[in-house]
A and B are shown apart, each in its own frame.
Chain A
Amino acid sequence: MEGIEIAAIDKILVVLYFVFVFGFGSYFGRYIKNTTDFFFSGRKFSWWVVSVSMIATVVGSYSFIKYSAAGYRYGLSSSMSYLNDWFFLPLWMFAWLPIIYFTRMTSIPEYFERRFDTPTRVMAILFVAVYLIGYIGINFYTLGVALHALLGMDVMVAAGVVAVITGIYVTSGGQTAVIMTDLLQGVLLLVAGLSIFTLGFLFLGDGALLPGVVQFWDGLDESKRYGLAHFNEPPNFSFIGVFWQDAIASSFAAYFFNQGILMRFLALKSVNEGRKAIVFALAILMPIAVIAVGNAGWIGASMDGLGVIPEAYSQDPDPNKMFVIVTSILCKPGIFGLVMAALLAALMSTADTLINATSAIVVNDIWRPYIVRNRPDEYYLRVARWASIASAILGLFLVPLFMRFDSIYVAHGAFIATVTPPMAVCIVLGFLWPRFTARAAFATLLGGAVAMGVSIWFPALVEPFSHGVDPEGGFKYMRALYGLVVSGIIGVVVTFLTQPSKSAEEIVGLTIYTVREAERRFKGGEINRGPGDKLRATVRVVPPSGREEDEVDDVVHLSLHPDDLRVLGAHEGDLIFLADPRVWLGGLRAGHARVQDALGERGVVELPEDFIERNQLQPERGVVVEKLM
């Protein structure tokens, strides 16, 4: 199958989509004034914006291809990977997120420097860089594969076009462009994915929805109706392999040290918004996403069971082409263009996040601390933009490497399984065990990586952890459990043989036991946890305050009327948040402030011109004020 005939309307839709995303993303360049804006969007977004945009990031272009292939081969159990992220949630919500938020961490390697030492940070930079840039390469490659199957385009040309467009709008609009375009693209890919499911039911039911659902179920073999796969067969898709490689290792990687996802959460207005965002994403959006990316395979399996796949397609049963086959059967001109746009959305929304995250690593972990120090922020903003372009180019260069693997799913899993366990162990011990030393952290990263590498050449090392999985597949998935155990042993043993190099004071805020202190230091005083309501206020524009602390704090100091403070439940010194009253903006036009005193006019906030301009507020609309802490 060398490409499918595409209707003109579909091609037009794809081109329009490219142009729209390019323009929409580039528009947000106006919100970028410094590197904090470029990487963290000024910490102001609402939970739902981050939640939806995060799903777009998690769903890559490879997702449609690989989960449709898995869905066709193994049925509903292909959904396992999207529905098993719950187990670390308490530690993430109440320990890790507050740690990185309240210590104003700019990158994951920075945590390794502050918690351990410089050599450990350098090692972490290597790990995170491999993780991020590898992901960029995988995304470009899989999109190339999809477009090759759809249009007969050359893989590198297809990947190159998307790399240029994504690279340009990320370079212009930074994290704000990433979040806003991903919000849009998240909605699109979920709608398109669910449309395929609906069209599949209609196809199977001869135009009737409910009979189509019944037919769909009847067409699925019993072995394809399970939510969780067979315990240890086959070696490339057993439950136990996916559990250790995905539910434990990959989920940990995604939420604890995927720089792109963590930067998304650092763009939120508060830690509590982050908790809402993650629960909404896991409980509501992930189930929708798993249907969106996998249903083409399920529909294909059911069509196969019912014997209704047209002969032209059934002669080419490659599961990796199942997404393309099913969508081309189901979708009429116009709808097919929408699906192709969703595929592009999935790619661009993942690639833009990774490009921005890689740029953050380059600037905050390499350039600023080690190469050119103490320059004005404008200089580092320029470096960030060049780094974004370089990341996109580097990802493109990796595409040929991923062409060497015979299965996208296996290639992706092997990559994640190899680099993840040592980092995961290091982070867990780092924030849960204050005694865990810098030398132990370094040994864990180095020793864990070496052990993982050695096990690729000597798979017998993994056998004790195999849970009965056939060694035929080389234990690709079970290697994660082996890596976690070996890395854990190295970390614990070396800790007991070495002494901590940092005092308890130096690691305040970096372990679970000192999160509350980090919160106090973030605010600059005791936390106000009392109840309060939101308040609608009118804005009076005043000249810039000229106060040095406003610049240092990146907040404005406000006087509020005592009655307003009562409504807010706020006191002097509390941090408050001022946002445009239009809820649908999700915090795009908003900023932080600190209560200076109780001397203001009732229902009025006096905002300096520079604060209004920096946060793109529109005084004539007023603001909604709420207490944060």
Chain B
Amino acid sequence: MYEVSYIYQYGIGTAIFVAGSVVCIRAGVLDLSDRQERRAWAMATAGLVAFAVVHALFQFVFPFTG
């Protein structure tokens, strides 16, 4: 059931993240043509992806090493 934890967290979590981004873009508060806002959104997205990768390693690879 450890793999289900990962799928659940990054399934629902990413859905909330993407939905939040879409709502912000449609409401006009996130303008991806604006350099500062694009950079801030890109940093947030990169952070989410980085954590998803690290958690994947600790869920599917590292527990079985050593």
Contact = CB atoms under 8 A, between A and B. Distances in A.
Contacts of B41: 90, 93-94
B5 A87 contact: no
A449 interface: no
B55 A83 contact: yes
Given A89-B20, A94-B24, 8 more contacts: A228-B5, A228-B9, A230-B2, A230-B5, A231-B8, A240-B5, A283-B47, A529-B36
A255 to B, nearest CB: 12
Interface of B: 1-2, 4-6, 8-9, 12-14, 16-17, 20-21, 23-24, 27-30, 34-37, 40-41, 43-44, 47-48, 50-51, 54-55, 57-59, 62-66
Contact of A240 (B8, B27, B29): B8
A225 B37 contact: no
Given A217-B66, A231-B5, A239-B9, A226 B20 contact: no
Contacts of A218: 66
Given A222-B63, A222-B64, A272-B40, A512 B8 contact: no
A86 B13 contact: yes
Interface in A29-74: none
22 contacts: A86-B47, A86-B51, A87-B17, A87-B48, A89-B17, A93-B40, A94-B24, A94-B30, A95-B29, A222-B63, A226-B58, A227-B55, A227-B57, A228-B55, A230-B1, A231-B5, A233-B1, A240-B5, A243-B9, A247-B9, A275-B40, A276-B43
A275 B28 CA distance: 17
A279 B47 contact: yes
Majority DSSP secondary structure for residues of A touching B? helix
Contacts of B36: 272, 275, 529
Nearest to A215: B66
Contact of A231 (B2, B24, B48): B2
Contacts of B21: 90
Interface residues of A, number: 43
Nearest to B43: A279
B28 A516 contact: yes
Contacts of A233: 1
Given A230-B2, A272-B36, A88 B16 contact: yes
Nearest to A230: B1
A515 interface: yes
B65 to A, nearest CB: 8
B15 to A, nearest CB: 8
B2 A83 contact: no
Contacts of B57: 227
Contacts of B51: 83, 86
Contact of A76 (B14, B47, B58): B58
A610 B41 CA distance: 39
B24 A95 contact: yes
A89 B44 contact: yes
B48 to A, nearest CB: 5
